[in-house]
Structure 1
Amino acid sequence: MAPLYEAFPVINSGHLEVSSVHKIYYEECGAATGVPIIYLHGGPGGGIEDTDRQYFDPSHYRSILFDQRGSGKSTPHASLEDNTTWHLVADIEALREHLKIEKWIVFGGSWGSTLSLAYAEKHPERCLGLILRGIFTLRREELLWFYQGGADMLFPDFFDAYKAAIPAEERGDMMQAYYKRLTGDNEEEKLKCAGAWSRWETATSKLIVDPKYIEKAEDPKWALAFARIECHFFVNGGWMKDGQLIEEAHKIKHLPIVIIQGRYDVVCPAKTSWDLYQALGGTSNIGVEYKILGDSGHSAHETSIEQALVDAANKFKSIKT
């Protein structure tokens, strides 16, 4: 299995105005005339990182990465106004048109897989294929498992810290209780809850708890965008019918798709990726590859997942535009 490519520079970047409120930051990397591939980051609210472009061979791919509304270098920071799944899908199309790209490969993990599916199911004619990791489809059962009860059976110590930010009488609906505080006027409480929410997710993202990874949550700017935007999307069910992305998977069955899943993913358990695989035709669909990795959790920054993602991108080099 191949490691990440060595670091390489951005060849073009800028801000695209997508509404009267929002400007999204984007980067182009690799070969200017290469096969286009778009990277959709997680969260929502996580923003892109420099290593995100290193899955893609810079001699072959024209990779495009962008910070979704309210995230990273996009403005305004942590904004919830006009920030829904379908606004983000429209932003992807606006970026494609801005960059004069006809079709591209869509690559996303965790929330990025959610957005990849939402985009591809709405615009299958613009997709050359999909590479998906740590599948999340925003079903209510998935949200309740992680934020209300289920994952706490495996990480009770970290869940207690997440729970402690909310008064006992409001813990019957943790997401709603967090949302009230993350959108409230008490700035101290808002930052406290942003940190607690973000620490819960970073603590549980790897098979082996990584204190360095948890430190991401100590950055108040990052944590605020991450927690506010995630919670905003989750209490609103992504502005989709529950189960919609699985139900509409038939719209993309004709595309080449690779699904990469950590066996011990607690944030987005393997059942969701399996449901998606079956909805795409399972073993009867030779165009869909399902890879479950027995030594990994959720994070894209675990070695075997990194290598599997690089391998998938290398395999997709056979795709012609």
Structure 2
Amino acid sequence: MNSNIDATKQPATWSPSDRWAQAAQRPWHRPLYLPLDAPHHMAFRLRGNPEGGAWLLLHGGPGGRCQPGMLSPLDLARHWAIAPDQRGCGNSRPQGRAVHNHTHALVADVEALRVHLGLERWSILAGSWGTVLALAYAQRHPERVERLVLRGAFALRRREVGGLLQGARRSGKTMRPAPRSWPTAPGTSLPALLSRLRQLLQTGTPAVASLRAARRWALLEMRDAERGLRRALVHVALQQPESAPALRGAWASLRRGARQRAAALERPAGRDDLALQRQYSVQSHYLLHRGFVRPGELDRAVRTLAQRGVPVAWVHGRCDAICPPANSRGWAALGQRLAPGSATLALPLSGHLGLEPLMLAALRREVRGT
């Protein structure tokens, strides 16, 4: 019953610390809600110490959701974590909706959440697509950001999106989705593919074609993540053999997940398929519009942060097979050139995912200062 609690309606006699300390005890699947412009309500969760340094966690996607594992880089005894599901994503309502859903609205949502929580400033920990939103927010509100830790930065370039959805040349062969599970033929342009995916995935309930497309998209992402982790394992075995067992276990787990997802491609619809369709409905909407980010805007955001003295720690897996490490290298170099000391770059031997052992260790060093 209380899972639908409106975060704007709490006893006036509570102190902010009492109010948020109680909110931090709520189960992850029962978030608070902040009303936005109709029809949207943003789900968010609070964890850790309300008196500690505030950290905003921005999930990837677009279309993803905040997961408990995103808390792992933080020290919850001295950090306060704020974990919202972006507009239309996760537990935010309405789920999977594209209406009034664009990056400028997400920036406004994040700022509304900061005001609602009574925070002057906060730090931001973001990964993948979340780095785009983090840069957009920090460019618009640099005075509200203490520092950013950005993992696996996404540049919204066509080759990043096309490399996943259209296939890339690997070992002399072109790897593309099988025609039976993909809505367009090989060779279809990326805009036409994204348009078709968006059309399929924005139907109300999973049909056969939309179900196959969502499942195949998820499988492609998982396989590229597994490929990056496999590359990292090869290098770690040679350069840091003491870390190899942990990476080997993570890679084996990811590979099992990919195999299970592949085996389920043709199974009847299950209870998780509607959530999957909603996720990729939002993602196709954003990618079709290049994240609603104008060309050069991310570079301008990096320049703004350097000029305003906002520190940015770029952390990128050296073997990332989804977002190229050159994204973070280039932006870190740009920030350093404009304001020496304002940007740092860490390149752990890892792939794209934030919970890979060496990536997590690098994030903890940046966030915790240890």
Same fold (TM over 0.5): yes
Which structure 1 segments of 5+ residues have no match? 1-8, 317-321
Report the count of equivalent residues. Answer: 306
SS state at 1:278 partner: helix
Q: Which runs of structure 1 show a deviation greater than 6 angstroms over 4 or more consecutive aligned residues?
A: 154-158
Residue matched to 1:146: 164
SS state at 2:156 partner: coil
Residue matched to 1:211: 255
SS state at 1:15 partner: strand
CA distance in 2, matches of 1:156, 1:183: 32
Q: Scaled by the length of structure 2, what TM-score is found?
A: 0.76
For residue 158 of structure 1, report the CA deviation from its aligned partner: 6.5
Residue matched to 1:307: 361
Would you say the 8 A contact 1:46–1:222 is kept in 2? no
For residue 187 of structure 1, report the CA deviation from its aligned partner: 2.6
Would you say the 8 A contact 2:202–2:278 is kept in 1? no
CA distance in 1, matches of 2:340, 2:274: 43
For residue 170 of structure 1, report the CA deviation from its aligned partner: 6.9
Specify which of 218, 221, 233 is matched with residue 201 of structure 1.
221
**1:113-156 Cα distance to aligned partner (Å, 9 max, x none):** 11111111111010000000000022334333333353x52696
Q: Scaled by the length of structure 1, what TM-score is found?
A: 0.87
Q: Which has the larger radius of gyration?
A: 2
CA distance in 2, matches of 1:28, 1:158: 42
Q: Structure 2: which amino acid aligns with 1:303? A: P
Q: 1:190 to 1:298 in 2, by over 3 A?
A: same
Specify which of 43, 47, 52 is matched with residue 61 of structure 2.
43
Specify which of 259, 275, 279 is matched with residue 222 of structure 1.
275
Residue matched to 2:345: 290
Sequence identity, in percent? 28
Would you say the 8 A contact 1:205–1:299 is kept in 2? yes
Q: 1:250 to 1:224 in 2, by over 3 A?
A: same
For residue 157 of structure 1, report the CA deviation from its aligned partner: 8.5
For residue 162 of structure 1, report the CA deviation from its aligned partner: 8.0
CA distance in 2, matches of 1:104, 1:216: 38
Which structure 2 segments of 5+ residues have no match? 1-22, 231-250, 265-271
Residue matched to 1:178: 197
CA distance in 2, matches of 1:163, 1:108: 35
CA distance in 1, matches of 2:171, 2:321: 8
Q: 1:157 to 1:52 in 2, by over 3 A?
A: farther
Residue matched to 1:30: 48
Residue matched to 1:116: 134
SS state at 1:96 partner: helix
SS state at 2:216 partner: helix
CA RMSD of aligned residues (A): 2.6
SS state at 1:78 partner: coil
For residue 106 of structure 1, report the CA deviation from its aligned partner: 0.8
Is the counterpart of residue 188 in structure 1 residue 188 in structure 2?
Answer: no
Q: 1:213 to 1:127 in 2, by over 3 A?
A: farther
For residue 169 of structure 1, report the CA deviation from its aligned partner: 6.9
SS state at 1:11 partner: coil
Specify which of 176, 185, 188 is matched with residue 168 of structure 1.
185
CA distance in 2, matches of 1:66, 1:228: 19
